[in-house]
Copies of this chain bind each other. A is one copy, B any other.
Amino acid sequence: MTDKPNPIAKAHRKYSSDRRTFLAGLGAAAGGAVLSGPTVSAKKGTPARNVVLVIPDGQSQSQVTAARYLKAYQDDPEAFPVNATPDETQLNVDRFDTMGTMTTMPDDVGETEWGGEYEGDFTGDELDNGFQNITDSAAAGTAMSTGTKTYNGAVGGVLDYDKGFVPVKTVLEKAREAGYATGLVTTTRLTHATPATFATHWPDRDHETEIARQYIEGPLWAEPDEEKVWVDVLLGGGGREFSDDLIDKAEDKYEYVTTQSDLEDVTEGPVLGLFSESHIPYTLDRGEETPSLSYMVEKAIELLRKKGPGKSQGFFLMVEAGRVDHKAHANDPSLPHEELEADEATGVALDYANSKGTQPTLVINAGDHETGGLQMGRDAYNVNMEFINEMEISLETLWPMVEDADNVEEVVTNNTPIESLTSEEISRIEDTKWYPNTQGFPSVVSEHANIGWGSCSHSGRELPIWASGPNAEYLAGANDNTDIYKAMAQALKL
């Protein structure tokens, strides 16, 4: 970083010390007011009965290309690469009617100004991460769920100069209040940032047990109600964040399942499915009792169609393909496998929206930020799709075996398409600190795959948006991520 004075950084530092002062006086009491996010004209827009928002976490056009390349290679390796055109290898994103782009930057803590009444137990220390102008999943999720910009780490709320953290009502909560059925489906922990921003509120994304509590007991800003269900379908990972007590409470309202077979047997909601203690395993690592994202989406739609206070009212469903981002953070060149699942799940939503008898359904696919700077090709005008296609285990799952190996080369060649390693590569692998690491084990494997990475982190790149169905045209052209909220809220007349 330059040492010259940065006016923004200075403003931030000044603000940070101010913040410490006023936040020190805050009590720990929860409850109180909630903000409502930007108003959209309910008179404009085309009404939808249902909305499905698919968020492949970390998806930019590069990740989409990766999926198309893998699909084309799997279809016909001899014809690759010229069969990787949209005509010959269609992805589900190609089926959308409308496309646009969106910016994703967070607000920085020095600029957030809101009125409101809420006083939580927010000390401000959670924000001590320096000036940030590239979004994380919490700020990006909050932008899409509430239409408001916030600081990185914020779940469903903004920072008020005087009041601390203030919740903002989400599209899901408004939909529930208007009588729609609601659902959240993800391959991450359900308590992870992206799904959390749609139905819970907390100044710090890392407080996942609190997020779990709010899913079951209701959002922070709402009156406690032991019977009320806010999210009819909750499917994902994160079992470790739900205490036994909380599961007991959940079972008063929800059917609780933990396996694919159990989920198949569910015939009506509400349902809470926790299929893993932490995140749901990557597609390459998954066992048969772990449902695929596509199956979870199919089941969620089946249940949401039958469910909700007003059965004919329609539903709001958010689907996160959350682990595309994780593979990008890890610089794992098997990422295309994970993105392909995101595209398949998108296809399930589109199939439903396009099927005969379905009520008007707005389907949107949009990432929350780009991760990793994935490059298909790395200094050789050639990406090794045969290698990528043959990968059978994620690097994150493989790494503990490599780290503990007496013979690194044996473990690597037995578990990846690599046939041999140079002594320099073995040294780099042995020197690897798992994360973040742009030179170690993931980099060695990526070099074999001819995949490039820009970092282990997020970038500010504008992202593609695809939309079909009523009000899709709202998202044509250049947007900000807060426009995702506006398009959905307008379509559902919220």
Q: Is A287 an interface residue (CB 8 A)?
A: no
Kindly state whether residue A450 has any CB partner on chain B within 8 Å. yes
Which listed residue, B69, B149, B452, touches A455 by the CB 8 Å rule? B452
Interface check A86, CB cutoff 8 A: yes
Q: Is A4 an interface residue (CB 8 A)?
A: yes
Distance (whole angstroms) from the CB of A94 to the closest CB of chain B = 4
Q: Copy number of this protein in the oligomer? A: 2
CB-CB under 8 A for A105 and B84, given A65-B461, A455-B377: yes
Whether A93 lies near B61 (C-beta < 8 A) is no
Q: Is the interface of A mostly helix, strand, loop or mixed?
A: loop
> Which residue of chain B lies nearest to A453 when distances are taken between CB atoms in the complex?
B454
With an 8 Å Cβ cutoff, the count of chain A residues facing the other chain is: 91
Instruction: Judge if A358 is at the interface, Cβ distance under 8 Å.
Output: no
Q: Which chain A residues numbered 96 to 154 have a C-beta less than 8 Å away from chain B?
A: 96, 99-101, 103, 105-108, 111, 129-136, 149, 152
Q: Given A77-B7, A81-B106, do A134 and B2 touch, yes or no (CB 8 Å)? A: no
What is the chain B residue whose CB lies nearest that of A455? Answer: B452
Contacts A2-B384, A2-B386, A376-B460 known; A105 to B130 CB distance under 8 Å? Answer: no
The residue of chain B having its C-beta at the shortest distance from the C-beta of A133 within the complex is B81
Chain B residues near A130 (CB-CB < 8 A): 380, 382
Is there an interface contact between A379 and B457, defined as CB atoms closer than 8 Å? yes
Cα A374 to Cα B455 with chains together (Å): 10
Q: State the Cβ distance, A4 to closest chain B Cβ, in Å.
A: 6
**Quick check: A84 and B103 within 8 Å, CB to CB?**
yes
Q: Which residue of B lies closest to A103 (CB)?
A: B85
In Å, the complex CA distance between A81 and B130 comes to 14
From A166-174, A182-190, A414-422, the one touching the partner chain is: A414-422
Complex alpha-carbon distance, A2 and B417, angstroms: 6
Q: Does A6 contact B (CB under 8 A)?
A: yes
Contact at A11–B78, with CB atoms within 8 Å? yes
* A11 and B78 alpha carbons, distance in the complex (Å): 8
In the complex formed, the residue of B with least CB distance to A97 is: B477
Q: Does A456 contact B (CB under 8 A)?
A: yes
Q: Are A65 and B462 in contact (CB under 8 A)?
A: yes
**8 A Cβ contacts from A416-469 to B:** 417-420, 436, 448, 450, 452-464
Q: Chain A: residues with CB nearer than 8 A to chain B?
A: 1-4, 6-8, 11, 60-62, 64-65, 68-69, 77-82, 84-87, 90-91, 93-94, 96, 99-101, 103, 105-108, 111, 129-136, 149, 152, 370, 373-387, 390, 417-420, 436, 448, 450, 452-464, 476-480
**Beyond the given A2-B448, A81-B105, A94-B477, could you list 8 further A-B residue pairs with CB under 8 A, ordered by the A residue number?**
A90-B478, A94-B478, A99-B99, A131-B382, A135-B381, A374-B454, A375-B459, A378-B454
- A-B contact list, 21 entries, CB within 8 Å: A2-B387, A7-B386, A61-B464, A62-B370, A62-B459, A68-B103, A81-B108, A85-B480, A90-B478, A93-B478, A99-B100, A129-B381, A132-B380, A373-B375, A375-B455, A375-B459, A375-B461, A376-B460, A377-B455, A378-B454, A379-B455
